[in-house]
Structure formats: C-alpha cells, structure tokens
Amino acid sequence: MIKRIIGLFVILTIGGILLVSFTPKKRTDLSSYSTEGLDLYYIAPNFNEIEDDLPDYFIYPELGKSYVGFKEAVAFKESRGDYGVVNQFGYLGKYQFGMSTLAMIGIKNRNKFLNSPELQEKAFYANLSRNKWILRRDLKWFVGKRMNGVVVTESGVLAAAHLAGPGAVKKYLRSGGVDGFADAFGTTVRYYMKRFAGFDTSFVKPNRKAKAQF
C-alpha cells in the first residue's frame, strides 16, 4: 500500500512539473520597441575602419582644413604619402591610382607616373576636377544633408569618389546610403565621407575633360 502511495505521489509530481513547463507564457508586447523614425546605420564599419578618432591631417596641423590639408590627408590614408609605392592590387603612387583611372586623365606610362611626384600631384587634381564635374548635381542636392549618421560635405564626396569612383558615390547618395561600396580592403564610401568631411575643396574646379599635363 505504501509503495502504491509513493508511486502515485511521484506520478503526480512529474505531471505537475510537465504541466507547468508547457503552460504558455505571457507574450511580450514588441510594439514599444519599434525602430520607426530612428537614424539607422545600413553600413557597418569593418576592422580597417575602426581607428582612432584623430583625422589623418592631424599629422600636418599647420595645413588644417585647406585643400593642401585635404590632399595630404588622403595621401596619408592611401599610401602614407609614398610616391613610389605599388600595392598588392597594382594601385600606384602617393594617391594609389589604378591604370584605368590614369588613362582617363591622359596618363598611360606607368613608370613615368611612378617616377614623377609632379605628375602624381597633377593627376590627383585632374581626377578631383573630373569627379567634381560628374557629381556636380549630387553635390548640389546632398551637401549639408545627413546620411547614415554622416553629414555630406563636398570634400567627403570627392574623397569617396577617389576611393570608389564617381559612379559608386552617385549610387550611394541617390539610394539614401543603402547602395554601398567597399574596396578590396573593405573600406566603404561612408567611411571616406566621414573621415574627409569639412575640408575646403573650392580650389578644385569642375572639368569634364580634365587631364594631367606634364
């Protein structure tokens, strides 16, 4: 008799545990967690982009936000300012140009380009000038607006165009920052727009047919 009572008690205990385990819990109301109206980041930074907050031009404090400060900041990011460097993907010089871009601005001799700092500086300006012409409408429409948490500036747009090409920057801007681009190292348009924002690039004149003359 005692064994039956103990057995019945064990069965009732197990049944009670199972009943509690399968009792539906009260559902959490998720409506209060809506992301509507929030400024969301569509492009996450990669490890190459997670750096200190000091801008590159900090190493040239006397240049500030001038055009020279801008080009030296870009150069430092691209190659640490080395005119003779060629990276593993074949990009050349202080500003890391590809041969296809150089051909568009009139440069076809690789060795001549690498061995001439003067030609490299002219190539950088010519490419900026051409990109500024291509993106002239986008600069008019988007400068001053905030996109993916970054205020759009002319220098940021031109730096991003140097990284990704004007076509990729145009897609990024006109998609509201959704259509992103990353180079072979994972660097994005958004990152360059943030890193090189606020420089004075009014010195650069838009020119569809800009060439680097030597």
pLDDT at 213: 78
Positive or negative, the CA dihedral 100, 101, 106, 110 is negative
Q: Check whether 105 has a pLDDT greater than 50.
A: yes
- Quick one: how far is CA 53 from the chain centroid? 15
Q: Give the tens place of pLDDT for each residue, 47-93.
A: 444 444 444 444 455 778 999 999 999 999 999 999 999 999 999 99
Angle, helix 117-134 to helix 67-79, in steps of 10 degrees: 110
Q: Which domains does the chain have, with CATH numbers?
A: 56-195 (1.10.530)
From 19, 31, 28, 69, select the one nearest 195 (Cα to Cα): 69
Cross-strand pairs, 151:
146
Reading the block at residue 191, the tokens are 């990152």
Q: Give the tens place of pLDDT for each residue, 140-166.
A: 999 999 999 999 999 999 999 999 999
Binning pLDDT at 50, 70 and 90, where does residue 207 land?
very high
Q: Which helix (H) or strand (E) holds 105?
A: none
Using an 8 Å Cβ cutoff, are 179 and 171 in contact? Answer: yes
Q: pTM of the prediction?
A: 0.73
- Percent of the chain residues past pLDDT 70, beyond the cut: 71
Using an 8 Å Cβ cutoff, are 56 and 195 in contact? Answer: yes
Where would I find the beta strands (DSSP E) of 143-193? 146-147, 150-151
Residues 138, 171: Cα–Cα separation, whole Å: 10
Q: Give the tens place of pLDDT for each residue, 8-20.
A: 555 656 655 555 4
